Structure 1
Amino acid sequence: MKKGKMTESQWNNLVKSGGIVEGSNWFPSQSFLDGYNASSSFNVPDITDRKELGKMKDFLRPVMISIRESKRVLLDGPTFQNSPAWNIHPLMSEDVIIRNLNVRNPWYSQNGDGLDLESCKNALIYNNTFDVGDDAICIKSGKDQDGRDRAIPTENVIIKNNIVYHGHGGVTVGSEMSSGVKNIHVSNCTFIGTDIGLRFKSTRGRGGVVENIWISNIDMIGIPTEAIGFNMFYTGNSPIIEEDQSEEDEAREEKMMPVTEETPVFRNISMKNIQVTNSETAAFFMGLPEMKLENVRLENAILEAKNGITAIDAAGLELINVRVLGTDEVPLTIYNSQGVTVSGYEFEKNGKPAVRILGNSDQIELDQADFSSPDQISKGNGLPASAVKLK
């Protein structure tokens, strides 16, 4: 248990119950701590000897429901709660229907995912309620080399009419998506207090292609971080826009890496009719320097948040009829991105530019009708005049 995930009284009661405290982490037993110390990746110890693993039994948390290599699966109606790790994990299965479920874990539970659909084909997920300690509805397809060797993508999935309360992501793709994810339709979902609403995550080393995602009619309320989040530097160093860097931020250099089978690809993703109220950040789009986040379209969106939209290392990004409300910062920042189109853009004047364009950005096309003054468009130093076109 992480201290930062609990209230002070919860943490004090937990410590009084026993266990071992090291730094800001609480461990239920020495067996659990031994397994934690023996693990360099997630929650799997780097040990194969069964006798040694037996000494770490407390750390080896199973998922609650594991369905492997099955066909015509139906889960309809039960409540699943308080799982050791993930609640429900269909793996390498086909024709899966998951409906009318209540899935619950304490909000502070470690790896307490709701549903992890991994390397599955033809799935319907609808009319469910999630209140969990990690990602709620998560689409996966294996991790790194093991996932690429499996070569079974998650494909042909419909997700609709679901409600998510606590959770690290409402609907999440990744970060373990190394066999690929394609043909996903998400609609008519509500996220209330979910850490991130629509969440896409990966990192160098994963490989895999995520493509052909259609999302529509999503309502989000009280999202404490990003309503829409794309992060291709998950668990790794990401670039920081120089003007936004505080003294506490680590200075990071954006490096171009070779494109290999380990390079993740996210492309052809459409989001339409999105409403966000009382949230922290409207949207964050971040690809890799060597593999841009490609062809993402956000259309007909009303985003009320303290922070606006940021796009880093994106190509072919379209923002059509997007309204950014409530921010005291720059509503839209574009950094190291190419082929960005913005039209029907509405924003509240707050004394700062409406659009800030930085880095090696190019082919930025803005709708002249959206701006009453040239001062509303800010260009970084060294950016050529031809990089931005008013149409």
Structure 2
Amino acid sequence: MGLFQKTKKSHVIQIALAFLTLALLSSTEVECGRDGYTKLLDFQAINCRKHSAVLTDFGGKGDGKTSNTKAFQSAISQLSQLAPDGGAQLIVPPGQWLTGSFNLTSHFTLYIHKEAVILASQDESEWPVISPLPSYGRGTDAPGARFISLIFGTNLTDVVITGGNGTIDGQGAYWWGKFKNKQLKNSRPYLIEIMFSQEVQISNLTLINAPTWNVHPVYSRDIIIQGLTILAPIDSPNTDGINPDSCSNIRIEDCYIVSGDDCIAVKSGWDEYGISFGVPTQHLIIRRLTCISPDSAVIALGSEMSGGIQDVRAEDITGISSQSGVRIKTAVGRGAYVKDIYVKGMKLYTMKYVFWMTGNYGSHPDNGFNPQAFPVIQNINYRDITAQNVSMPADLEGIQDHPFTGICISNASINLSANPKKVLWNCSNIAGVSSKVSPQPCNLLPNKEPMSCGFPPDTLPIDNVMLKNCSGSGTNI
């Protein structure tokens, strides 16, 4: 081989190595060594941590059979002591990590490796029972108490749950069976619940088979939820995707959800309990959401909305084979309000309804609700919507003597299915306007040309939160 050929070969190898190095440096995750510990992680978070540890440091075993509840609890308890010194992150390495419920701490990151699966235990003794939410007065499945969520936290500041698209498997079939057979004395656990907290991030994870709701931030603020894939059988009961509940300043984006219930359900408490607690959900952004939910809504507002819902901004929404695009659910006894709702850029395929509102969603926690607590529904805006294969464009049912007002629909093109409903627009006790909507809306939404329904031009504070580039390198505590 001549010198030129050797030089050329060496140069090619150098280029190949350079590209390999660049690929490794730019990847979100470097693979694990033989010991199973993660060597290097690169990810984005609201805050980075000074210290890092791996679950196996605390006796964790990823064999899918050994309970890791004590390992998680011990790890988080010890790492919580590092909060004043730059915080800590716990890495869940490749493996199947069976566990019951565990509580998070402040200034903390839970990182789930792309080849890691957290498996929810089906041993009820590993799920403590806690009091019902004060804004609900009872459990959602049964009166009284509820099982704590798999991943839980309360009164936290600066907590991150993220990963390289690692998986949390709720193994919900056990709970679905008990629910369907009416064998529950306490309400089913959620997959992730964060209460009374601030600066929360939940991102880049796959959540499957939740016992009931998947992600439930409640009584919290300054929340970023992004890059979640949430999957459950379409006949699984109440497996809502993301339920912001009495929360403020929330950003939900780039999520893909297949659900047995609403993909996103915005809530704020139930009847007299929610009215008394009085904490609304407000300043919520939802963008780049894709949803499949044959029996429920892409986005639902309510029905538990007794603390109020205000300033919801949804854009670039895709719904496929779902019951409705956006559904407002309320009832006499709920009180409070749903107002200042803005939706634009919605694409829907194979839907029962595009628009659905009801003031007759009559479930109540008990008989103590106030029959004079009438909800106020106003300033509801939809624009720039295309829909294919739709059975009925709209079912809009307000409350007699308490109509839903300020409804605006503009630039909406709805193509009907082969066998649509005879009545395309069912409207009662509502008031509003429409513009460039096909098929032609009901008389309670008269045409007003030219017009575009509102969408706020300002930026919410949560949109100004920029994630930082963080890393982890095994154990350095």
* TM-score category, normalised to shorter length: 0.5 to 0.7
Task: Work out whether 1:45 is the aligned partner of 2:142.
Answer: yes
Aligned match of 2:304: 176
CA displacement 1:9-63 (0-9 Å, x = unmatched): xxxxxxxxxxxxxxxxxxxxxxxxxxxxxxxx98443467x9xxxx955763111
Aligned match of 1:313: 429
Q: 1:322–1:344: 8 Å Cα contact kept in structure 2? A: no
Post-superposition offset of 1:332: 4.2
For 1:121 and 1:132, how far apart are their aligned partners in 2?
A: 24
SS in structure 2 of the partner of residue 221 of structure 1 = strand
CA displacement 1:262-316 (0-9 Å, x = unmatched): 111110011110111101111121110121010000001101122422221112x
Aligned match of 2:319: 191
Decide whether aligned partners of structure 1 residues 83 and 341 sit closer, same or farther in structure 2, where only a CA change above 3 A counts: same
Aligned match of 1:243: none
**Structure 2 counterparts to residues 25-40 of structure 1, below 5 A:** none
How many residues align structurally? 269
For 1:288 and 1:144, how far apart are their aligned partners in 2?
A: 16
SS in structure 2 of the partner of residue 207 of structure 1 = coil
Decide whether aligned partners of structure 1 residues 46 and 118 sit closer, same or farther in structure 2, where only a CA change above 3 A counts: closer
Q: 2:332–2:362: 8 Å Cα contact kept in structure 1? A: no
Equivalent residue for 2:289, pick from 146, 162, 167: 162
**Structure 2 counterparts to residues 1-391 of structure 1, below 5 A:** 43-46=140-143, 57=184, 60-166=187-293, 168-223=296-351, 225-235=352-362, 260=372, 262-305=373-416, 306-307=420-421, 308-315=424-431, 317-324=432-439, 332-334=441-443, 340-343=445-448
Decide whether aligned partners of structure 1 residues 319 and 42 sit closer, same or farther in structure 2, where only a CA change above 3 A counts: farther
Q: 1:117–1:140: 8 Å Cα contact kept in structure 2? A: yes
Amino acid paired to 2:434: L
SS in structure 1 of the partner of residue 391 of structure 2 = strand
SS in structure 1 of the partner of residue 313 of structure 2 = strand
Q: 2:434–2:441: 8 Å Cα contact kept in structure 1? A: no
CA displacement 1:120-173 (0-9 Å, x = unmatched): 000000000000100101110000011011111000011001100125110110
Decide whether aligned partners of structure 1 residues 332 and 269 sit closer, same or farther in structure 2, where only a CA change above 3 A counts: closer
Gaps of 5+ in 1: 1-40, 237-257, 325-330, 346-391
Post-superposition offset of 1:66: 0.8
TM-score by length of 1: 0.64
Amino acid paired to 1:221: Y
CA displacement 1:309-329 (0-9 Å, x = unmatched): 2221112x10111111xxxxx
For 1:154 and 1:291, how far apart are their aligned partners in 2?
A: 22
For 2:186 and 2:143, how far apart are their aligned partners in 1?
A: 12
Decide whether aligned partners of structure 1 residues 42 and 259 sit closer, same or farther in structure 2, where only a CA change above 3 A counts: closer
Decide whether aligned partners of structure 1 residues 101 and 321 sit closer, same or farther in structure 2, where only a CA change above 3 A counts: same
SS in structure 2 of the partner of residue 213 of structure 1 = strand
Post-superposition offset of 1:215: 0.7
Post-superposition offset of 1:259: 8.3
Superposed CA RMSD in Å reads 2.7
The percentage of aligned residue pairs carrying the same residue is 26
Name which structure has the greater RCO, CA cutoff 8 Å, separation 6+: 2
Post-superposition offset of 1:97: 0.4
Decide whether aligned partners of structure 1 residues 65 and 201 sit closer, same or farther in structure 2, where only a CA change above 3 A counts: same
TM-score by length of 2: 0.53
Q: 1:162–1:190: 8 Å Cα contact kept in structure 2? A: yes
Post-superposition offset of 1:344: 5.7
Amino acid paired to 1:313: N
Q: 1:64–1:83: 8 Å Cα contact kept in structure 2? A: yes
Amino acid paired to 1:87: N
* Structure number, greater radius of gyration: 2
Decide whether aligned partners of structure 1 residues 235 and 92 sit closer, same or farther in structure 2, where only a CA change above 3 A counts: same
CA displacement 1:241-264 (0-9 Å, x = unmatched): xxxxxxxxxxxxxxxxx983x111
SS in structure 1 of the partner of residue 235 of structure 2 = coil
Q: 1:259–1:290: 8 Å Cα contact kept in structure 2? A: no
Decide whether aligned partners of structure 1 residues 170 and 183 sit closer, same or farther in structure 2, where only a CA change above 3 A counts: same
Gaps of 5+ in 2: 1-137, 148-181, 364-369, 451-477
Decide whether aligned partners of structure 1 residues 259 and 56 sit closer, same or farther in structure 2, where only a CA change above 3 A counts: closer
